[in-house]
Structure 1
Amino acid sequence: METALEEIEFLALSANRVTVLERLAAEPQSRADLADATGASQATLGRILEDFEERSWIRRDGGTYTATPTGKLVSDGFTNLLTIVETEQSLRELVPYLPADALDFDLAHLADATIVQPTQTRPSAPLQRTLDLTTACSEIRSFSHAFNNQSLATVEQQVADGDLVFSGVFSNSAIDALTAESELCHLLRSLVEAEDAHVRVYDGEVPLAVTVADDVVHLLLRDDRGILQGSIDTDAEAVQSWAIDRFEAYWEASRPLEASDLSH
């Protein structure tokens, strides 16, 4: 009997094998159905079906084939492995900028995430993704170590127009950076004074820049120098739950930012 690794290799070395098993695990198929799905020759398809029958992964029922319970088990497990590897590949370049200790949810929940990275022609693409989400939502809850001028201006305008309810918790350093510039300080004061905005200051470190825009969780990633490296956003329920719990924890441990706190 082949080892488990050998069986995995047997399946992985042929995209046609994977496709055939996945389709049969979903519903019964005829040989014609499988040929259309794979584009494989009848000879190749015959070998695949014979190999699967020898392993008791499938059974023939008249003119159709279907996966056995163990065939479905193998198909489900292999599909999960493919999803995990595909997710890892999509995140690989951003791994150095992910604060692993803070992301205490299963990264498999990022399988369908939208990942945006800066390019030579679009260096601010991740930030633009943030702004697009901001202008498309009605409520934002945010916690971050930074609040850049474009995001601040967009949020302030959306709130002033009555299109957005905003709640944000920021580190001291983020607020200090804004108050150091008179124009940004003015925008921040306008936001703080708005009825539909609530800004708080957290005295400790905030290792993430997270925005919950309606039901979308958006992470903006920077390197140690503060240079933008990418963004990740998802509407996965598990990530939403994580982000909201984090936001509420920072909110409870922070203090309100008052207009009188702003020096300019």
Structure 2
Amino acid sequence: MDRVFEEMEFLARSANRGDVLTLVAEAPHDRGALAAETGASQPTLGRILRDFEERDWVRATEAGYTATATGRLVAAGLTELSESLTAELHLREISGWLPADDLGFDLKRLGEATITTPTQTRPSAPISCVIELIETADRVRVFSHAFNEQTLAAVVEWVADGGQFEGVFSAAAIDAVAHETGLRGQLKQLYAAADATIRVIEDDIPLAVTVADDTVSLLLRDEQGRLQAAVDTDDSDVKTWATARHSDYWASARPLDETDLAGDT
């Protein structure tokens, strides 16, 4: 293990080392090309390449320096680590609210996601972000443990304008809406709409996820249920996960019916 840490330290001491190894793993480069792409001086490149040749990570060819099989192995690990750390730094502010067990995709896929958090002037900014996505979409699929007032009102209006809505909600979420007179009326409008279908699942749904056309939005809450962030991405892997999870919930849920809308009446 000590030798592993020594090699990690060797690479970490100079950003140029990682850049050079990654470049020659992608394609042969001569020293001029490496200098142009990394900004390293020729003496620095000479030392780096000699160190790499001693480790048998690179070899000189007529086409330029190229990575060996083990050099490509190390370069791939560097790339993966770089992507992981890039994503971690991007998500660090909201890491405490990301579920540890309920995400069926690599967190690196959120490395370029748009993160919206509440502010003093815009405390409902995450919800507003989701509503904006809904209002510009043709088809929206949702699975969630909550159906808040702002989103419900926006969905009712959007469906009336021709949007297609397919929502799966926990029974607790539907019950909470049905027990509020004003919200119950909006839910009834949605229930009656031709382009809206709502299904109910008795089990808890740990995440609130919206798939608006090709964009996925995750609403993150703290342990007290307070909304902390919206995370939006058009990453294809995240969309594949979200649509598959929606399909699973949809298949195990039952249709919303009149008894769900009774509330206290």
Work out whether the TM-score is over 0.5. yes
SS in 2 for 1:74: helix
Give yes or no for contact 2:221–2:229 (8 Å, CA) kept in 1: yes
TM-score (norm 1): 0.88
The answer for the alignment partner of 1:89 in structure 2 is: 89
The answer for the alignment partner of 1:207 in structure 2 is: 206
Give yes or no for contact 1:193–1:259 (8 Å, CA) kept in 2: no
- Could you tell me how far 1:62 is from its partner in structure 2? 4.3
Gaps of 5+ in 2: none
- Could you tell me how far 1:146 is from its partner in structure 2? 0.9
1:215-234 to structure 2, matched below 5 A, reads: 215-234=214-233
CA distance in 2, matches of 1:218, 1:170: 16
1:1-264 to structure 2, matched below 5 A, reads: 3-62=3-62, 64-162=64-162, 164-259=163-258, 261-263=260-262
- Could you tell me how far 1:79 is from its partner in structure 2? 0.7
CA distance in 2, matches of 1:28, 1:252: 52
Distance 1:63 1:140, change over 3 A: closer
- Number of aligned residues: 262
CA distance in 1, matches of 2:14, 2:120: 37
Aligned residues with identical type, % of pairs: 52
SS in 2 for 1:130: helix
- Could you tell me how far 1:15 is from its partner in structure 2? 1.0
Alignment RMSD? 2.3
- Could you tell me how far 1:194 is from its partner in structure 2? 0.6
| CA deviation map 1:8-32 (0-9, x unaligned) | 2211221111111111111222322
Gaps of 5+ in 1: none
Give yes or no for contact 1:168–1:199 (8 Å, CA) kept in 2: yes
CA distance in 1, matches of 2:118, 2:154: 20
TM-score (norm 2): 0.88
| CA deviation map 1:31-87 (0-9, x unaligned) | 222222222222222211221122222222347322222222211111111212222
Counterpart residue type for residue 115 of structure 1: I
Distance 1:41 1:224, change over 3 A: same
Counterpart residue type for residue 171 of structure 2: N
Counterpart residue type for residue 41 of structure 1: S
Q: Out of 81-90 and 13-22, give the one that drifted further.
A: 81-90
CA distance in 2, matches of 1:119, 1:80: 34
CA distance in 2, matches of 1:200, 1:142: 10
Counterpart residue type for residue 253 of structure 2: S
Distance 1:125 1:9, change over 3 A: farther
Give yes or no for contact 1:117–1:125 (8 Å, CA) kept in 2: yes
- Could you tell me how far 1:192 is from its partner in structure 2? 1.1
| CA deviation map 1:144-174 (0-9, x unaligned) | 0111122112211221111x21111112222
Q: Out of 104-113 and 225-234, give the one that drifted further.
A: 104-113
Give yes or no for contact 1:146–1:171 (8 Å, CA) kept in 2: yes
- Which 4+ residue blocks in structure 1 deviate beyond 6 angstroms? none
Give yes or no for contact 1:192–1:199 (8 Å, CA) kept in 2: yes
CA distance in 1, matches of 2:247, 2:62: 59
SS in 2 for 1:231: strand
SS in 1 for 2:247: helix
